[in-house]
């Protein structure tokens, strides 16, 4: 049964037509109907995508959160399967025809309640702020809760009715969809592309910052206050940095940042960036390397998964996973389109309803604010399911918005449904967000354009302390002329063939030397210092280096997580980004140590050490590779000149590659 009207008529008659998916992608005037058979894979690499497959969509995968164990990360394993639809039929249904065929009957649900009460969730927020962010475990974390209810009548008809309401009542969704596998129904309107691959172009779409409103459009003055709110600005910056880390892994030269833009929906307005970069990896590998979006987990990623496992009672099932549509284009190249599974309801064949939602916790968060955010995020799906503010009347027209801009287009096109996005002051406030960011990530990069003399043929090793900022650092050092390898801290290998060893960032308490990671990184640094070999230490590495040099370590009362600051680095004013809870302290600008004299750049107010350098070594507390570090590339160029004993070609403080 593959004809669209036959399929929907069967549902209306109470007949299960077999597995199918209905998908409306952003701006489309039609729905795609995919039919086929459902199977289960163990790993993403097992998803079928034959080399000789014809052009078109071949596999639609429902990727659960537990799949993050493929990367060796922690999770509460609830056994949710990696189901996929092996597509054997594809039909295009005009939007008007789909609305005419979808059921209009209201969805009746009862017994709605969150599995975690508002009070319990607020206490969890406070614990994460104090025990995780406050102790250096990361910059931000997403903790979820799930609303449970029971749907009366046919779950499939209820899901299709909910889909109709979402098509009519939601706007700005990247995918609006229903997937029926026979064992479950997923229906939702996800605002966020996780990752896509088309013609070798990899794109990601970090969305963060949530402005709640009740009308069809947000209040302009309130929106402007939201756009200037430091918490909301920093929240988006942090997930931008985290997704740039992922792009550093799957794109050949890392990602280019485009935006920011507004993402306007029926109940919420978000801010967003687009990231784009060229890559050649298998799309299943791209999926694996980007599990999962920091907007629904936190950063740094590996430790965010540990924090989630410590504080969430139950597994996430499909929440924060992705739908992944895999296929090939007319030239035989692999394609991928994967929205994040948020603003999504899961229905069982017996009518059990689950609507999971989460809030992003950062250093400025309040328990009450994050509780309110979970309610707001659930509102759109709940309205479609009859559990919240009512969706538009059955005959209401759906919103069709213009296509979103690609990386080469500077701004969204005007349209009557996006008046605030085109307001000059709104656009100006958004544009101001980029003024203090690193041009390295905002501009197109030409290989070799900013390489420094004397570095060709020289090799650097970056030792990763469980923060993939190291991938971004590798791209910057490579752009400056080094050949760079990255290695996890726990994988021993010789380092003597490298001209420079970089001991990179990571979460944790640098004073806890009984922890294996801290002991291993400290031992590596000690060996390098004793041998007088060129060594650069970043963030956690810098803290461990400072400890070896005899400087005391201090935990900040207010963490510097995702914080850009203007500081002086060896006599030069620099704008750099911090992600730290701990810092070394010094009471002088020069100190003598067992490893020679050390020059220190420190905060004049509290003595916090921003940077240090001595014979053959240097350390920085900030992240020169971060998008927050406008002057990070210039700092790296100066440090390479110091460490590798070559005349440094001056790099302007706001250096960016030639556009060519």
Q: Is the dihedral of CA 403, 404, 407, 411 positive or negative?
A: positive
Measured CA distances, 487 to 211, 461, 481, 519, 579 (Å): 40, 7, 19, 17, 21
Q: Does residue 213 register a pLDDT over 80?
A: no
Residue 24 CA, chain-centre distance (Å), reads: 23
pLDDT (0 to 100) of residue 66: 97
User: What digits encode the pLDDT tens for the residues 5-21?
Assistant: 677 777 667 678 899 99
Assess contact for 294 and 206: CB atoms under 8 A: yes
Q: Which of 83, 232, 373, 625 is catalytic?
A: 625
Contact yes or no for 493/487 (Cβ under 8 A): yes
What is the pLDDT at residue 656?
A: 42
Per-residue pLDDT of 41-50, as tens digits, reads 999 999 999 8
Query: Any catalytic annotation for residue 625?
Result: yes
Give residue-wise pLDDT tens across range 585-644.
Answer: 999 999 999 999 999 999 999 999 999 999 999 999 999 999 999 999 999 999 999 999
> What CATH number is given for 446-643 in this structure?
3.40.50.880
Q: What is the pLDDT of residues 284-338, one digit of tens each?
A: 999 999 999 988 998 888 889 999 999 998 999 999 999 999 999 999 999 999 9
Q: What's the topology of domain 4-198+278-397?
A: Anthranilate synthase (3.60.120)
Report the pLDDT value the prediction gives residue 651, as an integer from 0 to 100: 43
Looking at the chain, the whole-number percentage of residues with pLDDT higher than 90 is 68
Backbone phi, psi, residue 86, to 5°: -80, 105
Average pLDDT for 495-511: 94
Secondary structure of 218-262 in the HEC alphabet? CCHHHHHHHHCCHHHHHHHHHHHHHHHHHHHHHCCCCCEEEEEEE
The full 3-state SS of 273-328, as one line of letters, equals EEEEEECCCCHHHHHHHCCCCHHHCEECHHHHHHHHHHHCCCCCCCCCCEEEEEEE
The pLDDT > 70 percentage for the chain reads 90
Cα 239 from Cα 442, distance rounded (Å): 15
- 623 part of the active site: yes
Residue 493 is predicted with a pLDDT of 85
Decide: helix, strand or coil at residue 441.
Answer: helix
In the chain, where the domains are located: 4-198+278-397, 446-643
> One of 213, 270, 623, 642 is an active-site residue; which one?
623
565 contacts 576 by C-beta, under 8 angstroms: yes
Do 24 and 176 meet the contact criterion of CB atoms below 8 Å apart?
yes
Residue 652 has pLDDT above 60, yes or no: no
List, in sequence order, every beta strand (DSSP E) within 12-123. Answer: 20-25, 30-41, 56-63, 82-94, 109-114
Cβ-proximal residues to 266 (8 Å cutoff; 6+ apart), any chain: 169, 170, 171, 172, 216, 380, 383
137 is an active site residue: no
pLDDT at 269: 85
The answer on pLDDT for 648 being more than 50 is: no
So what's the pLDDT on residue 216?
Answer: 57
The pTM assigned to this predicted structure is 0.86
Active-site residue (options: 253, 373, 539, 542): 539
């Amino acid at each position: 049964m593959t004809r669209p009207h036959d399929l929907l008529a069967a549902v209306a008659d109470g007949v299960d037509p077999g597995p199918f998916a209905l998908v409306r992608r952003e701006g489309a005037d039609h729905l795609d109907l995919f039919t086929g058979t459902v199977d289960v894979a163990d790993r993403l690499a097992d998803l079928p995508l034959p080399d000789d497959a014809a052009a078109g969509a071949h596999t639609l995968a429902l990727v659960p959160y537990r799949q993050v164990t493929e990367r060796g990360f922690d999770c509460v394993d609830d056994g949710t399967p990696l189901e996929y639809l092996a597509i054997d039929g594809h039909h295009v249904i005009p939007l008007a025809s789909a609305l005419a065929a979808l059921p209009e009957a209201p969805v009746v649900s009862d017994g709605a309640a969150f599995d975690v009460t508002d009070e319990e969730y607020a206490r969890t927020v406070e614990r994460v702020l104090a025990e995780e962010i406050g102790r250096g475990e990361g910059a931000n974390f997403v903790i979820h809760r799930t609303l449970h209810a029971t749907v009366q009548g046919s779950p499939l008809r209820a899901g299709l009715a909910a889909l109709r309401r979402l098509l009519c009542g939601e706007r700005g969704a990247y995918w609006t969809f229903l997937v029926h596998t026979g064992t479950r129904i997923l229906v939702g309107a996800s605002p966020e592309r996780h990752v896509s691959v088309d013609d070798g172009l990899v794109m990601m779409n970090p969305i963060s910052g949530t402005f709640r409103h009740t009308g069809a459009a947000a209040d302009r003055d309130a929106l402007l206050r939201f756009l200037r709110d430091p918490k909301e600005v920093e929240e988006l910056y942090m997930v931008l940095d985290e997704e740039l880390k992922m792009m550093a892994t799957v794109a050949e030269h890392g990602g280019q940042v485009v935006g920011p833009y507004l993402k306007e929906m029926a109940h919420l307005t978000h801010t967003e960036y687009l990231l784009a970069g060229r890559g050649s990896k298998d799309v299943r590998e791209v999926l694996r390397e980007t599990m999962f979006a920091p907007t629904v987990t936190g950063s740094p990623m590996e430790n965010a998964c540990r924090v989630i496992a410590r504080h969430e009672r139950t597994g996430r099932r499909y929440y924060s996973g992705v739908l992944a549509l895999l296929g090939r284009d007319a030239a035989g190249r692999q394609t991928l389109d994967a929205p994040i599974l948020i603003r999504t309801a899961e229905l069982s064949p017996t009518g059990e309803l689950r609507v999971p939602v989460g809030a992003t916790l950062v250093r400025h968060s309040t328990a009450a604010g994050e509780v309110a955010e979970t309610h707001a995020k659930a509102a759109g799906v709940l309205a479609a399911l009859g559990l919240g503010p009512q969706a538009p009347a059955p005959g209401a027209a759906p919103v069709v918005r213009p296509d979103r801009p690609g990386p080469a287009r500077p701004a969204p096109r005007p349209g009557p449904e996006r008046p605030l996005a085109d307001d000059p002051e709104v656009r100006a406030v958004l544009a101001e967000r980029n003024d203090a960011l690193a041009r390295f990530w905002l501009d197109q990069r030409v290989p070799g354009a900013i390489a420094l003399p004397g570095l060709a043929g020289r090799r650097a090793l970056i030792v990763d302390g469980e923060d993939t900022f190291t991938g971004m650092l590798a791209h910057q050092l490579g752009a400056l002329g080094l050949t760079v390898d990255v290695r996890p801290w726990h994988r021993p290998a010789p380092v003597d063939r490298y001209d420079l060893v970089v001991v990179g960032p990571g979460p944790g308490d640098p004073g806890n030397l009984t922890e294996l990671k801290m002991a291993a990184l400290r031992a590596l640094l000690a060996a390098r210092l004793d041998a007088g070999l060129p060594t650069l230490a970043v963030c956690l590495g810098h803290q461990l280096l400072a400890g070896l040099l005899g400087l005391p370590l201090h935990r900040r009362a207010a963490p510097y997580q995702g914080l850009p600051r203007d500081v002086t680095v060896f006599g030069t004013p620099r704008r750099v980004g911090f992600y730290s809870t701990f810092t070394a302290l010094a009471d002088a600008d020069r100190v003598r140590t067992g490893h020679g004299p050390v020059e220190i750049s420190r905060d004049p107010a509290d003595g916090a050490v921003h940077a240090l350098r001595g014979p053959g070594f240097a350390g920085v507390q900030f992240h020169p590779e971060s998008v927050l570090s406008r002057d990070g590339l210039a700092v790296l160029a100066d440090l390479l000149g110091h460490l590798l004993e070559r005349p440094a070609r001056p790099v302007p403080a706001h250096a960016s590659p030639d556009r060519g």
